[in-house]
Amino acid sequence: MAITAPGQQLNLNESPCWGSRSVDCFEKLEQIGEGTYGQVYMAREIKTGEIVALKKIRMDNEREGFPITAIREIKILKKLHHENVIKLKEIVTSPGPEKDEQGRPDGNKYKGGIYMVFEYMDHDLTGLADRPGMRFSVPQIKCYMRQLLTGLHYCHVNQVLHRDIKGSNLLIDNEGNLKLADFGLARSFSNDHNANLTNRVITLWYRPPELLLGTTKYGPAVDMWSVGCIFAELLHGKPIFPGKDEPEQLNKIFELCGAPDEVNWPGVSKIPWYNNFKNKANEETSKGGFQTLMTSVPFALLFLPLLFSAFLNSLFCVSFDRHALELLERMLTLDPSQRISAKDALDAEYFWTDPLPCDPKSLPKYESSHEFQTKKKRQQQRQHDENAKRQKLQHPQQHGRLPPIQQSGQAHPQMRSGPNPPMHNSQPPVAAGPSHHYGKPRGPAGRAPPYGSSGMTGAPRGGGSSGYGVGAPNYPQGAPYGSSGAGRGSNMMGGNRNQQYGWQQ
Amino acid sequence: MAANFWTSSHYKQLLDPEEVDVLQPLDKDKGVTLEDFKLIKMHMANYICKLAHHVKVRQRVVATAVTYMRRVYTRKSMSEYDPRLVAPTCLYLAAKAEESTVQARLLVFYIKKFYADEKYRYEIKDILEMEMKILEALNYYLVVFHPYRSLSQLLQDAGINDINMIQFSWGLVNDTCKMDLILIHPPHLIALACIYIASVHKDKDITAWFEELRVDMNVVKNISMEILDFYEGQRLITDDRFNTAFSKLALKP
C-alpha cells in the first residue's frame, strides 16, 4: 500500500522520496469506466509494464476543493488490506496545467489531474454475467458469494460500511478472485449506530427497506441487504427488485418479503417515512390488487416464510437448494437487526454442503468484460442492427442465424421492457467487450439502476411486477435464469437447455 | 476510528525525535532555529484551535488538523509552505476527513473577522490550492489516531471516576497537540503519560494499576517529563519571541 516505500521504484523524472509520482509514469490504454467523479482507464506502467487501472478524480465543479468522497475512499482504502478488497496502489498527479477537452489550458494545476492507481481487474460481476451465453455454476456462485462475504466481513470488522454493493462494483480477475471496489460512498461507522448518516446511498435496486423508509441510523446490515440482492440475482439471472423510483422499489420489496409491521420488524413504525408508505399501501389495497392485498392483510404475514419460499421456489422454477433459500431469506430480512451478518452468513450451511464453493483458480478464464464497455458495444451494435433492420425489412427471418438459446427469450415478450428492447432479438452472440466499474455507471441505456430519486427518468425498468408478485404464477417455465433481463442486452444466461454449468450440479 | 492502530499508516509512520526536529534547509538558511521552529508550530496549533472554536468543530478535528500540520513540516519548509495558510487549510482538510465538513468561505470569513493582521488573510482559492499541496505532502495518509479513545478506556480500566481527575487528564491530552508527541509516540502511551501526571498532581496513587499494565513505564515517564518541560517552558514564551521567530521566515511582504 505504501506509495513510496523504501525499495520501491522511484519517480520517473525526479525522485522525491516523498510525494506522488506523475501520471506520465503510465501509458493510458483505453477507457474502461465512467464514474460519478471521473473516468477510469486501463493503463500500463511504463517502467514495469504492469497493467493497472487509473481512476481520475474529477476536480472541476468542486467548490469545496478535493472531493470528500475521494477523501473517504482514499482514507478507507489506505486502511483496508485484504485479498477481497481492491488495492489502492498509489496516487499520482498530472504535472502542470492540464488541458480540457477543448484544449484550453487549465488554470488550476491540480484540476482534473489526480488519479488513483488500482490493481487491474479483468471483469466486474455485472459485465461478466452479461456475457452472452454466460452461466455460472453452483460452485462458482458459492465461490463468488464466499469471497464477497469475506471481503465485506473484513470491512465491517474494520468499521467500514461500503454502501454501494452491486454487481458492477464487484471486480473479478482471471484467477477467479473477487474484490470489493468503489468505496466512494463508503464511510466509517461506530458500533453504537448513533451517528446520523445519509439514507441517500446504495444504488436503488440494492437499497434496503430501512433506507427507503428514511432511517438515518443504520449499520452493516444495509450492505447485507445488497448482498442478498446480488445473491438472488446470481441465482435468478437478473435483478430481483428493479424499481424505477423509491415507492416502486419499496413495493417490489414488500411484494416479495411482505409488508413490515411492529411484529416482524419491531420499531418500524418509528422510522420517518413509515406512515407515508402505510397510507399509500392501504390506498392501493382498496384498489383491489391481489398482491397488495396479500401483503397488507396481517394474517398473510403469518405465512410469510412459507410464501417467501414458495415464491422463490416458483421464481426459480427448480426444486432448488434449500440451503441457498435459507441463506437468501436471512439476507433479505426486512428488520435490519434480524438480518444475517456477513460473519454468520459465511458459517451458513450453504457454503459447507455439496457442491462446495470451488477454488477460484479452477474457474474458467474469460476475455475481459466490464459493464462500461459492454454497454458501449451494445449501443453500437444496436445502432448497427437498426440500420440493418431498415435495410432488411423484407427479410424478417433474420433470427434464423441466432443460436437456439435465444429462442426461449422470445417466448415471453411481456417480460422484456426497458429502454432497449430490440436488442434481444437482434444481437448476435458476439463476445461482450470489456466494461468496468471502478466508477459508477452513467450510460443512458444499459442496466444501470437509478441512484437517487433524481435518477428516475430513463431508468431501465425491470420486467414489470407481473413476474415478481407473490406466487409469480406467470413466470416462464424452465427458465430459471430468466433470459430476458431488463436492459441487460442479450439474454445473458441463455436458455437453460444448453446449460453447461447447471446449478443443480 | 480505524479498528487497529498497529496495522495503520499512523503506526508505520511514527518517527524518532531526531527525525522530527529537523529544519528544512530553506528555513535554516534564513536563520530559523529549532526553538523558533517549535515555537511557530505551537503558535499555529493555537491558531487552529481558535479557528476551530469559531467554526464549531469537534476537538478531534482540531487534533487531526494539528497532526497534519506537524506532519507537513517534517517534510516541507515553512518558507515555501506559509504556516498562516497551512494552519487553516489543515483544519479545512481535517474537517472533511473527520466527517464534519466546514465550508472554505466560512474559514476565510472568520480569519478576516478575527485577524486584523493582513498577513493572515488568505482567500478561498489559496486554501483550495494549498489543500492539494498538503494532501501531496501527507502522501494522502489521512488517518490519525488520537489519545482520546485510549484515555477514556484507560481511565475506566483504572477505575478512575473522579471527575476532577478525568477533566484534568483530558486537559492535558488537549495540550499535547502543542507538542510533536503525536508524531513520535503511539497515542495510548501519550494518554498514559497524561493519566500519570494527573495522578501525581491529584495525589491519586495508581502505581499498582500502572505496574500491571504491560507497557514500558520508562517511555511513559519520558513522555510525562516532556509534557512537564513544555509547561515549564510555556511561561517564558512571549508574543515578541514568536514574532521574532516568525519574522525570520520573511514570508508575505
Going from the N-terminus, what domains does chain A have, and what CATH number goes with each? 23-98+108-120 (3.30.200.20), 124-362 (1.10.510.10)
Measure CA B168 to chain center. Answer: 18
A118 pLDDT more than 90? yes
C-alpha dihedral sign at A36, A41, A46, A47: positive
Chain A residues whose CB is inside 8 A of the B7 CB are 81
| pLDDT at residue A316, rounded to an integer | 54
| pLDDT at residue A312, rounded to an integer | 58
3-state secondary structure of B246: helix
Beta-carbon contacts of A421 under 8 Å, excluding residues fewer than 6 positions away, are none
> How confident is the model over B107-134, as a mean pLDDT?
90
Architecture category of domain B5-143 in CATH: Orthogonal Bundle (1.10)
The domains of chain B are located at 5-143, 147-234
Say whether the peptide bond before residue B83 is cis (omega within 30 degrees of 0).
no
| pLDDT at residue A446, rounded to an integer | 43
What would the grid cell of residue A505 be? 450440479
Q: Closest Cα of chain B to A150: distance in Å?
A: 17
| pLDDT at residue A439, rounded to an integer | 45
> Which H/E stretch holds residue A58?
none
Packing angle, helices B59-72 and B147-157, rounded to 10: 130
Task: Classify strands A170-172 and A123-124 as parallel, antiparallel or unpaired.
Answer: antiparallel
Total Cβ atoms within 10 A of residue A80: 23
> How far is the CA of A313 from the CAs of A310, A352, A477, in angstroms?
5, 21, 12
Chain B residues whose CB is inside 8 A of the A114 CB are 132
| pLDDT at residue B241, rounded to an integer | 83
Which amino acid would we find at residue B154?
Answer: L
Band (B252; pLDDT cuts 50, 70, 90): low
Q: Locate the chain B residue with the closest alpha carbon to A197.
A: B99
> How far is the CA of A172 from the CAs of A78, A119, A120, A137, in angstroms?
21, 11, 10, 16
The span from the CA of A139 to the CA of A146, in Å, is: 10
| pLDDT at residue A228, rounded to an integer | 96
- Which of A173-187, A293-307, A483-497, B60-74 bottoms out in mean pLDDT, i.e. has the lowest? A483-497
Which range in A397-401, A413-417, B211-215 is most confidently predicted, on average pLDDT? B211-215
Contact residues of B toward A, CB < 8 A: 1-4, 7-9, 12, 75, 92-93, 96-97, 99, 101, 103-104, 127-129, 131-132, 135-137, 139-143
Among A429, A427, A424, CA closest to A414: A424
Q: Closest Cα of chain A to B104: distance in Å?
A: 7
Band (A423; pLDDT cuts 50, 70, 90): very low
| pLDDT at residue A473, rounded to an integer | 36
3-state secondary structure of A118: strand
Percent of chain B surpassing pLDDT 70? 98
The span from the CA of A114 to the CA of A94, in Å, is: 6
| pLDDT at residue A4, rounded to an integer | 41
pLDDT per position as a tens digit, A8-62: 443 444 434 456 788 889 999 998 887 655 788 999 999 999 999 999 887 766 6
Give B161's DSSP letter.
-
The span from the CA of A258 to the CA of B19, in Å, is: 63
The span from the CA of A170 to the CA of A84, in Å, is: 9
A79 pLDDT more than 90? no
Q: Locate the chain A residue with the closest alpha carbon to B6.
A: A79
A420 pLDDT more than 80? no
HSE of A391 in the Cβ direction (CA atoms, 13 Å)?
Answer: 6
| pLDDT at residue B232, rounded to an integer | 87
Instruction: Give me the active site residues of A, please.
Output: 164
**Are A458 and A418 contacting, i.e. CB atoms less than 8 angstroms apart?**
no
- Which of A202-211, A355-364, B83-92, B233-242 bottoms out in mean pLDDT, i.e. has the lowest? B233-242
A417 pLDDT more than 50? no
Chain B residues whose CB is inside 8 A of the A113 CB are none
What would the grid cell of residue A109 be? 494545476
Which of A163-190 are b and which e, b meaning 16 or more Cβ less than 10 Å from the residue's Cβ?
bbbbbbbbbbbbebbbbbbbbbbbbbbe
The span from the CA of A387 to the CA of A418, in Å, is: 20
| pLDDT at residue A250, rounded to an integer | 93
Which residue has better confidence, A63 or A294? A63
* Cβ neighbourhood burial of B223 (10 Å; 0-12, 13-18, 19+): buried
Beta bridge partners of A187: A161
3-state secondary structure of A41: strand
3-state secondary structure of B165: helix
Q: Please provide the average confidence, as pLDDT, over all residues in chain A.
A: 71
| pLDDT at residue B138, rounded to an integer | 92
Which residue of B75, B85, B96, B125 to mutate against A (max A Cβ within 10 Å)?
A: B96
Three-state SS annotation for B214-227: CCCHHHHHHHHHHH
The span from the CA of B156 to the CA of B195, in Å, is: 11
Judge if B5-143 and B147-234 fold alike in CATH terms.
Answer: yes
pLDDT per position as a tens digit, A213-222: 999 999 999 9
Which range in A358-372, A375-389, A431-445 is most confidently predicted, on average pLDDT? A358-372
Percent of chain A surpassing pLDDT 70? 59
* Cβ neighbourhood burial of A389 (10 Å; 0-12, 13-18, 19+): middle
| pLDDT at residue B203, rounded to an integer | 85
Instruction: Answer whether A188 sits within 8 Å of B1, measured CB to CB.
Output: yes
Give me the torsion for CA of A367, A372, A375, A376, rounded to 10°: -100
Total Cβ atoms within 10 A of residue B122: 20
Instruction: Answer whether B139 sits within 8 Å of A4, measured CB to CB.
Output: yes
Instruction: Answer whether B3 sits within 8 Å of A93, measured CB to CB.
Output: no
pLDDT per position as a tens digit, A184-214: 888 888 776 677 888 888 889 999 999 999 9
Band (A495; pLDDT cuts 50, 70, 90): very low
3-state secondary structure of A88: strand
The span from the CA of A448 to the CA of A444, in Å, is: 8
- Closest to A110 (Cβ–Cβ): which among B2, B132, B140? B132
The span from the CA of A260 to the CA of A333, in Å, is: 10
What would the grid cell of residue A261 be? 409491521
The span from the CA of A21 to the CA of A4, in Å, is: 9
Beta bridge partners of A99: A105
Percent of chain A surpassing pLDDT 90? 32
- Closest to B99 (Cβ–Cβ): which among A3, A65, A187? A187
pLDDT per position as a tens digit, B15-68: 888 888 888 999 988 889 998 999 999 999 999 999 999 999 999 999 999 999
Beta-carbon contacts of A380 under 8 Å, excluding residues fewer than 6 positions away, are none
Runs of H (alpha helix) within chain B? 9-12, 17-20, 25-29, 34-55, 59-72, 83-97, 104-114, 124-137, 147-157, 163-176, 181-184, 187-201, 207-212, 217-234, 239-249
Residue A89 assigned as binding residue? no
pLDDT per position as a tens digit, A452-483: 444 333 333 333 333 333 333 333 333 333 33
* Rg, chain B, Cα only: 18
Packing angle, helices B83-97 and B59-72, rounded to 10: 130
Instruction: Answer whether A20 sits within 8 Å of B140, measured CB to CB.
Output: yes
| pLDDT at residue A82, rounded to an integer | 95
Beta-carbon contacts of A373 under 8 Å, excluding residues fewer than 6 positions away, are A32, A127, A433, A434, A435, A436
pLDDT per position as a tens digit, B233-243: 887 777 788 88
A160 pLDDT more than 90? yes
Q: Closest Cα of chain B to A352: distance in Å?
A: 30
The span from the CA of A426 to the CA of A390, in Å, is: 12
> How confident is the model over A232-253, as a mean pLDDT?
91
- Closest to A75 (Cβ–Cβ): which among B3, B12, B142? B142
Tell me phi and psi for residue A55, to 5 degrees. Answer: -110, 115
The span from the CA of A487 to the CA of A282, in Å, is: 32
Which residue of A8, A79, A94, A111 to mutate against B (max B Cβ within 10 Å)?
A: A79
> Which ipTM did the prediction report?
0.84
Please calculate the CA angle A301-A307-A309 and round it to the nearest 5 degrees.
Answer: 130
E strands present in B81-120? none
Band (A241; pLDDT cuts 50, 70, 90): very high
Q: Closest Cα of chain B to A336: distance in Å?
A: 23
> Which H/E stretch holds residue A372?
helix A371-391
| pLDDT at residue A172, rounded to an integer | 94
* Cβ neighbourhood burial of A122 (10 Å; 0-12, 13-18, 19+): buried
Which range in A106-110, A255-259, A428-432 is most confidently predicted, on average pLDDT? A255-259
Grid cell 435490519 in the structure block, residue? A336
Residues in chain A: 505
Residues B147-234: name the CATH superfamily: Cyclin-like (1.10.472.10)
